[in-house]
């Protein structure tokens, strides 16, 4: 069943308050979200049957929707309860969880003042975002042609479906060129993030990561910053220029799906996954399992 298309699987999907058979969780072709990108989503993982940072993800989903000028018609508590029940009903222990909120079909034009807002939640087993062999050596990143948009051009801190258009194009181009993913610069040409994960660099035991003001300030990013600080590792959030890449010894990316993934190459620059990456990767796993190291 592993390679079955996502609309043709066994299981249960929560859709507008009801549990539907997986194959029945459908939308009409005249759905505003599909034509105008009026959709926001989350990507979360459950570990040992419990969703890591569930509440923060539900809050972010609602915040993303507000940035697109709509309200998710469920409270954080209702969304949390529905997600937990989706994981349980599908018999999942370690799982990826995907809530998606979107505008429906009442109006079909740019204006969508009266469209119903829908929410669906699915979950499935998704062991590793990158190939486990590539992951061990450190994944290889290309540099994307597209840049993260200026916050005056798009609601760039929202986890909005429309913002992934350039991510898919960039990831496809990277894959065609033999890379696992692409590093995206921001609108000013500074290092920003990958197509679905944030990025960190290490030099002389200090972590450096771009300031998340025109891209998603990932929950994993924030968790890793906290874990590093607990270890007494200094974390510097700053502007990082692509010319500086050669000066870092380690690099890794972070995301709910990617977790902590070592990077071995960005274009012509080489990194060696080292002790700091390993420690933070292990600490992240421990944190998700509820076995946090002492502060
Ligand atoms: N940036 C982008 C573009 C992403 O898609 C993701 C994954 N949601 C992240 C960063 C990391 O966010 P998080 O750690 O909250 O999953």
pLDDT tens string 146-167: 999 999 999 999 999 999 999 9
Among protein residues, the one with the nearest Cα to ligand 1's atom 4 is 196
Question: Is 80 exceeded by the pLDDT of residue 95?
Answer: yes
- Supply the mean pLDDT for the chain: 96
The pLDDT of 62-83, averaged and rounded, is 98
- Ligand 1 neighbourhood includes 219 CB (under 6 angstroms): yes
pLDDT tens string 243-286: 999 999 999 999 999 999 999 999 999 999 999 999 999 999 99
136 shares its domain with 270: yes
The backbone region for 221, taken as left when phi is positive above 0, alpha when psi lies in -120 to 50, beta otherwise, is alpha
163 shares its domain with 105: no
Count up the domains in the chain and report the number.
2
Q: Is the residue at 221 inside a domain?
A: yes
Going by DSSP bridges, is the β-strand pair 235-238/206-210 parallel, antiparallel, or unpaired?
Answer: parallel
Ligand 1 pocket test target in 56, 58, 159 with most atoms within 8 Å of CB = 159
Asked which of 60, 92, 124 is the last residue of a domain, the reply is 124
> Using CA atoms, how far apart are residues 132 and 32, in angstroms rounded to an integer?
38
> Using CA atoms, how far apart are residues 218 and 238, in angstroms rounded to an integer?
16
CATH of the domain at 214: 3.20.10.10
Question: Is 80 exceeded by the pLDDT of residue 106?
Answer: yes
Helices 54-67 and 76-89: angle between axes, nearest 10 degrees: 120
Residue 258's closest CA among 142, 139, 104, 163? 139
pLDDT tens string 25-44: 999 999 999 999 999 999 99
155 shares its domain with 274: yes
137 shares its domain with 274: yes
Asked which of 106, 124, 142 is the last residue of a domain, the reply is 124
The pLDDT of 122-131, averaged and rounded, is 89
> Using CA atoms, how far apart are residues 196 and 208, in angstroms rounded to an integer?
19
Question: Among all residues, which ones are annotated catalytic?
Answer: 159
Q: How many CB atoms lie within 10 A of CB 83?
A: 25
Task: Supply the pTM of this predicted model.
Answer: 0.96
Centre of ligand 1 to C-alpha 10, Å, is 27
**Which residues form the domain of 139?**
132-288
> Using CA atoms, how far apart are residues 232 and 234, in angstroms rounded to an integer?
6
């Amino acid at each position: 069943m592993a390679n079955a298309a996502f609309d043709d699987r066994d299981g249960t999907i929560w859709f507008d308050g009801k549990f539907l058979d997986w194959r029945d969780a459908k939308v009409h072709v005249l759905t505003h979200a599909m034509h105008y990108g009026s959709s926001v989503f989350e990507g979360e993982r459950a570990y040992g049957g419990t969703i890591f940072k569930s509440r923060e993800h539900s809050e972010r989903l609602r915040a993303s929707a507000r940035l697109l000028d709509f309200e998710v018609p469920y409270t954080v508590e209702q969304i949390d309860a529905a997600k937990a029940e989706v994981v349980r009903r599908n018999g999942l222990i370690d799982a990826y969880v995907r809530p998606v909120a979107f505008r429906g079909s009442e109006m079909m034009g740019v204006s969508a003042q009266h469209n119903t807002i829908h929410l669906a939640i699915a979950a499935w087993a998704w062991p590793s975002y990158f190939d486990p062999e590539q992951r061990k050596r450190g994944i290889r990143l290309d540099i994307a042609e597209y840049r993260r948009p200026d916050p005056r051009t798009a609601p760039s801190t929202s986890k909005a479906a429309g913002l992934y258009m350039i991510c898919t194009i960039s990831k496809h181009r990277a894959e065609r060129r033999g890379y696992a993913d692409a590093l995206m610069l921001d609108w000013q040409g500074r290092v920003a993030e990958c197509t679905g994960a944030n990025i960190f660099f290490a030099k002389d035991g200090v972590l450096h990561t771009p300031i998340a003001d025109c891209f998603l300030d990932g929950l994993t990013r924030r968790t890793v910053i906290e874990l590093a600080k607990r270890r007494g590792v200094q974390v510097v959030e700053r502007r990082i220029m692509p010319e500086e890449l050669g000066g870092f010894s380690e690099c890794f990316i972070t995301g709910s799906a990617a977790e902590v993934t070592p990077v071995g190459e960005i274009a012509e620059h080489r990194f060696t996954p080292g002790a700091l990456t390993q420690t933070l990767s292990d600490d992240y796993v421990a944190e998700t399992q509820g076995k946090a190291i002492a502060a």
